[in-house]
């Protein structure tokens, strides 16, 4: 595993990353892939919900809410805009 790959939920609001992998036991993986979150897709962490969880991500021009527990299982490579 590459050193600079971090779990999606460790991005800060406004930061962007490229999906590099899915960790095991991500029960949402199939669903997320059908929505277009593939390896190589760019994701922006938009914000955390008011009470800290879930979080809002932007992908392919739309916005998704996912929980930190699932975001943790998506590995991204942080990129600069």
Partner 1 sequence: MNEALGIKKAHPRGKKPEIEIAIVGNPNTGKSTVFNALTGMHQKVGNYPGVTVEKKTGVLKNSNGSKIRIHDLPGLYSLVPKSLDDKIAVDVLMDRLDEPQHLKLVIVVADATNLARNLYLVTQTMDLGIPVILALNMMDITHKRGLHIDVDKLSQKLNIPVIPLVANKGKGIEELQEAIGKITRTEYQYKPIWKIDNDIHEALLPVCSWYKNNSHLNETASWAEALRVLSSDKALENWLTNKNGSSFEYGIELKEIVKNARKSLEAHEIHWHMFESKWRYAWIDEMCKDSVQESDVGLSFSEKLDKILTHRIAGPIAFVLIFAVIFQSIFTWAEVPMNAIESSVQWFSGQVAAFLPDGVFKGLVVDGAIAGVGAILVFLPQILFLFFFLTILEDTGYMARVAFIMDRFMKGVGLSGRSVIPLLSSFACAVPGIMATRTIQNWRDRLVTIMIAPFMSCSARLPVYTLMIAAFIPGMKILGIFSLSGLTLLSMYLVGIFSAIGVAYVFKFFVVKKQRSSTFVMELPPYRVPSPKWVFLQMYERGKIFVLNAGQIILAISIVLWFLASYPKPNHQTNIAPAEAIQQSYAGQIGRFIEPAIEPLGFDWKIGIGLITSFAAREVMVSTLATIYNVEGADESSVSLREELRNAKNPQTGKPVFTPLVAVALMVFFVLACQCMATVAIVKRETNSWRWPISMVLYMTTMAYIGALIVYQGGKLLGLG
**Between 61 and 80, how does the x/- string for binding to partner 1 read (CB under 8 A)?**
xxxxxxx--x----------
Q: Which residues contact 21 (CB under 8 A, 6 or more apart)?
A: 1, 5, 39, 74, 75
- Give, as ranges, the residues between 3 and 42 that touch partner 1 (CB under 8 A): 27-36, 38
**Closer by beta carbon to partner 1, 5 or else 48:** 48
Q: Which residues contact 16 (CB under 8 A, 6 or more apart)?
A: 42, 43, 44, 45, 78, 79, 80, 81
**Closer by beta carbon to partner 1, 58 or else 78:** 58
Site for partner 1, rule CB under 8 A? 27-36, 38, 47, 49-54, 56, 60-67, 70
């Amino acid at each position: 595993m590459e050193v600079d790959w971090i779990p999606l939920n460790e991005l800060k609001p406004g930061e962007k990353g490229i999906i590099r992998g899915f960790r095991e036991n991500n029960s949402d993986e199939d669903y997320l892939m059908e929505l277009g979150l593939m390896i190589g897709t760019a994701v922006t962490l938009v914000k955390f919900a008011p009470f800290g969880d879930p979080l809002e991500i932007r992908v392919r021009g739309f916005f998704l809410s996912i929980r930190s527990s699932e975001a943790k299982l998506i590995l991204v490579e942080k990129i600069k805009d």
